Amino acid sequence: MTMMMHKPSGKGKGSGAMALRHAVLAALLDGEYSGYELAKAFDVGVANFWHAQPQQLYAELTRLEKDGLVTGRQVVQETRPTKRLFTVTDAGLAELQRFAAAAAKPSFIRDDLLVKVQAVDRVDAGPVIAQLEERMAVAAAKTDLFTKILRHLRGDLEEAEFLRTGERIGPYLTCLRGLGFEREHHDWCRSTIAVLRAREKTAGRD
């Protein structure tokens, strides 16, 4: 029976998930960016919800322009190399709208360091503790950075007031998520280090 055999997956490649694509579109809502500038944005604010290498961004911007979702505008500079600034088009906004309305796949942590902690009873705890400390420092730095970004985004207003009346709160809300994540991460690192340290001292005994 089996009504169909070797049907070559009629899904098409223009409609599916295409992860980076929407992250770039969303980041580009804040203004005109060149690939280079966008790469830097992806290292600070946007990093709360996505991360990508510059090369990926350049490639994605090219594809987005080809599909008419962004437009590029050449800017010749005297002292620096010529750059191309990109803006989201109406089609791009429509695509983003479509994406926002579609079901999101569940999120999950995916972290090398957690894999190491999972195995910490059976491998040397020393290096794991060292990496937890490094991670804790990074998380502390990010917490500071996000706090500053939030302050900058809301300007003079108090948070509650800004969230009620601000014009662009999307970046603020995602940054809040980033802040919460880093704080939680930092706390977990601290208490995990404490646990592992305490056990190292009593190793051999018992």
Partner DNA sequence: TCATCATAGTCATCAATCTGACTACTCATG
Partner DNA sequence: CATGAGTAGTCAGATTGATGACTATGATGA
Q: Which is nearer to DNA, 55 or 97 (CB)?
A: 55
- Residue 53's CB is within 10 A of a number of other CB atoms, namely 10
| Interactions with its own copies, residue window 146-165 (CB under 8 A) | 163-165
Q: Which of 15, 31, 55, 111 binds its own copies (CB under 8 A)?
A: 111
| Interactions with its own copies, residue window 31-60 (CB under 8 A) | 46-51
- Residue 70's CB is within 10 A of a number of other CB atoms, namely 23
Contacts (Cβ under 8 Å, ≥6 apart) of 71: 65, 86, 87, 89
Residue 196 CB, nearest approach to DNA (Å): 26
Distance of CA 41 to the CA centre of its chain: 10
- Mask for 170-199, x = binds its own copies (CB under 8 A): xx-xx-xxx-xx-xxx-xx--xx--x--xx
Q: Are 45 and 171 in contact (CB under 8 A)?
A: yes
Q: Which of 78, 90, 121, 158 binds its own copies (CB under 8 A)?
A: 121
Distances in Å between the Cα of 8 and the Cα atoms of 1, 2, 4, 15 are 18, 15, 10, 16
Tell whether residue 58 is a contact of DNA (CB under 7 A).
yes
Tell whether residue 143 is a contact of its own copies (CB under 8 A).
no
Tell whether residue 19 is a contact of DNA (CB under 7 A).
yes
Q: Which is nearer to DNA, 106 or 204 (CB)?
A: 106
Q: Give the residues across from 85 on adjacent strands.
A: 73
Q: Which does 203 bind (CB under 5 to 8 A by kind): DNA, its own copies, none?
A: none
- Mask for 30-49, x = binds DNA (CB under 7 A): ----xxxx------------
Amino acid at 5: M
Residue 78 CB, nearest approach to DNA (Å): 7
Residue 43 CB, nearest approach to DNA (Å): 11
Residue 167 CB, nearest approach to DNA (Å): 27
- Interface residues with DNA (CB under 7 A) are 2, 4-9, 11-13, 16-20, 34-37, 51-56, 58-59, 62, 77, 79-84, 105
